[in-house]
Amino acid sequence: MKPSQSLLSNFEAEIAEYRQHGYIPLGLHQDSIVVSATPEAVEELGYSIEELLGMNSWFLFDASSFQEVASKLFQKSSIEYNAVMKRKDGTTFNAHLSILHTHIGDETVRFVFYKVKL
């Protein structure tokens, strides 16, 4: 699946609901590659859109969260949990994540909605 900002437009209703509650969406391919990102994600994470699209999403998580993220990300049902995420500059932040699984053709796309925990 080719990375694209427009992928998010196919799921506008679901994304709008999450955004209402302060969540920032990222679309991940079944191989954990970022395939869509919003301006909010670009701003919060410190990467350009060109850097985010096609990036392995594991670079967005702190090593302390790898095991938990790995155990939750590939479950087939939607799930919520907490993780430590990492910005481009190396700073970390606690985030609440909600994952929505969907299919586009034969491929699985996971929308990871994250909210910075204050």
Domain ranges, ordered by start, for the chain: 5-116
Provide the whole-model pTM: 0.79
pLDDT tens per residue, range 76-100? 666 788 899 999 999 999 999 888 7
Q: How confident is the model at residue 81, as a pLDDT?
A: 83
Tell me how far apart the alpha carbons of residues 68 and 83 are, in angstroms, rounded to a whole number.
8
Tell me how far apart the alpha carbons of residues 64 and 58 are, in angstroms, rounded to a whole number.
12
Structure tokens at 112: 């990871």
Q: For every residue of 63-74, which 3-state class applies, written as one string?
A: HHHHHHHHHHHC
Question: Which amino acid, 21?
Answer: H
pLDDT tens per residue, range 99-108? 877 777 777 7
Instruction: Say if CB 54 and CB 37 are below 8 A apart.
Output: no
pLDDT tens per residue, range 18-30? 888 888 888 877 6
Instruction: Say if CB 3 and CB 91 are below 8 A apart.
Output: no
Structure tokens at 108: 């699985």
In the structure, what pLDDT confidence band is assigned to residue 74 with cuts at 50, 70 and 90?
A: low
Classified by CATH at the fold level, domain 5-116 comes out as Beta-Lactamase (3.30.450)
